[in-house]
Amino acid sequence: MSEAVSQPNSIKKILPLILATAIFMQMLDSTVLNTSLPAIARDLKESPLNMQNAIISYVLTLAVFMPASGFLADRFGTKKIFIFSIVLFSLGSLFCALSQNLTHLVISRVVQGIGGSLMTPVGKLALIKTFDKNELLKAMNFAIIPALIGPVLGPLVGGYMVDYLSWHWIFLINIPIGILGVTLGLKFMPNYKSADVDFDLKGFLIFAAASLLLSVSLELFGDLQNTTPVLVVFILGFLFMYYYYRHAKKDESPIFPLNLFKVRTFRVGIVGNLATRLGISSVPLLLPLMIQIAYGQSAVTSGWIIAPMALTAIFGKSYVIKILNKFGYRQTLMINTFIIGTLICLLAIPDINTSLYWFVPIIAVLGFFNSIQFTSMNTISIADLRNFQTSSGNSLLSVNQQLAIGFGIAFGLIVLKIFENTDLIHGEPHNAFRYTFLTIGILTIISGFVFRRLHISDGKNMKSKEE
């Protein structure tokens, strides 16, 4: 029996576009700073390495506040929370553009992050509640395109705006997109509420503390001079996670019920998302950095080198449903993760004298397989959730994805710093990037074995009829 709420066709047509708008804004802002950091650092008189705080603060804020998104949507309605989140995100973008120093920028990014932490999960929740399971794959497939284009378009847009305008415009671009999102939301966003709502404040604070401590510790691991305080923070994060587990066992309505993890497809989807995104998330940061630092090219050049990923991601979208219908989720995800890991390893082959055009076909093919990966992981995670699990399960999946992106960015930089401090690179910064790509590529290949836990028949209720 369908758990979706019947809605007019006009809403079903526009709703994926509304979610796509939210995802695009969030993903663009997660990555637009990648090529712009050197220019912003010069203007704010900061070291480029310190500027990663502006990236990490945004991602951490998303991870910390996302657990509350399901409760707020159930309590106040998906429409109100979604519109509020876009307004807050747009205001944060304006504050970022007006920032006079790094502290201002980090605070503004936190405001953006609070808006972003509600925007995408609430949009996805409305989508899940509106579409039947056999329609959801197709709707999600459309809405997920910006998640693939954002990390690619971000560096390109950032590069052009930095080189030809000023870095302030990378944030101001969100204002018209936000206005479009609010306009569509007011007219087409359904307002789902839940009669039985009880917010687990204690669980929220414990889980938020665990997420924050784990993320901060991973980011601080880049400081290899003094690892003891970092390890203490890391262990504290795990202790808080265990504390949340104990709390969730006793509490009648925890923010993330433990029975979510009894759903095998959800459990595999969560672990798979975290494991495979470690490598995938670091590539859009590391490749532009390598092209600018090692090859001495401009921000625009680095943006264009990875731009083909966006085109092939859109192309790949039209094949996802056919591939999943033919091979199933288990086989698709295992093979696809192996291919992505191999492609990341191939980025390590060119030496400093090799043409930059070497990277273009690899990045183009990577975009196609990323498209398959994200759609498959997102839909299998929610395939078997019951109606009463949808809000909490969707929130936890969104938190997990943002933590994985944050971990991926931090992990990539940690590996890069480790290789920079070894004799393996022979004084060539380019070699540090090569070893980093090889390391994260191999780890991505290994992560594909997570999907062995899926059954061949998993996801059959998500099969979509092609038009």
pLDDT band at 340 (very low <50, low <70, confident <90, very high): very high
**What is the mean pLDDT of the segment spanning 247-254?**
83
Q: Quick one: 58 and 131 in the same domain?
A: yes
In a domain, residue 26? The reply is yes
For the stretch 49-62, pLDDT in tens is 667 677 778 877 87
Return the CA Rg of the chain.
21
Distance separating alpha carbons of residues 270 and 279, to the nearest angstrom: 16
Domain with 225, as residue range(s), is: 200-254
Q: Residue 464: its pLDDT value, please?
A: 53
If asked whether residues 287 and 401 sit together in one domain, one would say yes
Alpha-carbon distance of 45 to 47, in angstroms, equals 7
**108, 125: one domain:** yes
Neighbours of 50 (CB within 10 A): 12
How much of the chain, in percent, has pLDDT values that exceed 90?
11
In a domain, 4, yes or no: no
Residue 235 lies in a domain: yes
Q: Where are the beta strands (DSSP E) in 198-341?
A: none
**Shared-domain flag, residues 365 and 334:** yes
- Is residue 354's pLDDT more than 60? yes
Mark which of 211, 226, 254 sits at the end of a domain.
254
Same domain, 133 and 34: yes
Residues 453-459: what's their mean pLDDT?
Answer: 80
Of 451, 92, 56, 42, nearest in space to 273 by CA: 451
Least confident of 175-189, 211-225, 232-246, 347-361: 211-225
What pLDDT, on the 0 to 100 scale, is given for residue 465?
A: 45
Q: What pLDDT, on the 0 to 100 scale, is given for residue 463? A: 59
Which of 460, 428, 390, 412 has its CA nearest to residue 122?
A: 390
- What's the average model confidence in pLDDT over 203-230? 74
Give yes or no for residue 223 having a pLDDT over 60: no
**What is the arithmetic mean of pLDDT over 1-11?**
56
Contact between residue 451 and residue 272 where contact means Cβ atoms under 8 Å apart:
yes
Domain assignment present for 3? no
Percent of the chain residues topping a pLDDT of 70: 87
Q: What whole-number distance in Å separates Cα of residue 297 and Cα of residue 291?
A: 6
- Burial class of residue 450, CB neighbours in 10 A (0-12, 13-18, 19+): buried
Residues 248 and 319 in one domain: no
| 278 residue type, one letter | L
> Is residue 314, in this structure, part of any structural domain at all?
yes
* One domain, residues 309 and 444: yes
- What tokens does 56 get? 């990490």
Residue 197 pLDDT class (50, 70, 90 cuts): low
| pLDDT at 281 > cutoff 60 | yes
Q: What are 103-160's pLDDT values in tens digits?
A: 888 899 999 989 988 888 888 888 888 877 677 777 777 777 766 676 667 767 777 7
Q: Residue 443: what pLDDT? A: 92
Last residue of a domain, one of 191, 221, 254: 254
Per-residue pLDDT, 48: 65
**42-100 pLDDT per residue, tens:** 787 777 666 767 777 887 787 788 888 878 888 888 888 999 999 999 999 999 888 88
Kindly state whether residues 157 and 69 are assigned to the same domain: yes
Q: How many domains does the chain have?
A: 2
Indicate whether 459 pLDDT > 80: no
Question: Does residue 1 sit within a domain?
Answer: no
374: in domain: yes
Q: Does the structure show a pLDDT above 70 at 4?
A: no
pLDDT for 462:
61
Q: Is the pLDDT of residue 289 over 70?
A: yes
CATH of the domain at 435: 1.20.1250.20
Mean pLDDT of 254-263: 83
Six-digit token pair at 10?
Answer: 């006009």
The verdict on 75 and 99 lying in the same domain is yes
pLDDT tens, position by position, 416-442: 888 877 777 766 777 888 889 999 999
Q: Give me the helices (H) in 189-263, please.
A: 201-220, 228-250
Domain contains 2? no
Paired tokens of 333: 């995800």
Residues 239 and 297 in one domain: no
Q: Do 131 and 383 touch, CB atoms closer than 8 A?
A: no
> How high is the mean pLDDT of the chain?
80
The DSSP line for 403-460 is HHHHHHHHHHHHHHHHHHTSGGGTT-HHHHHHHHHHHHHHHHHHHGGGGGGS-TTTTG
Residues 293 and 432 in one domain: yes
Q: Is this prediction's pTM over 0.85? A: no
Where is average pLDDT lowest: 52-66, 209-223, 229-243, 341-355? 209-223
User: Are residue 229 and residue 300 in the same domain, yes or no?
Assistant: no
Q: Which of 97, 119, 118, 121 is nearest to 109 (CA)?
A: 97
What is the phi/psi pair of residue 193, to 5°? -130, 170
Orientation of helix 390-420 relative to helix 359-382, angle to 10°: 150
Indicate if the pLDDT at residue 1 is higher than 50. Answer: no
What is the mean pLDDT of the segment spanning 390-402? 78
What is the pLDDT, as a whole number, of residue 94?
Answer: 92
Domain stop point among 236, 254, 272 = 254
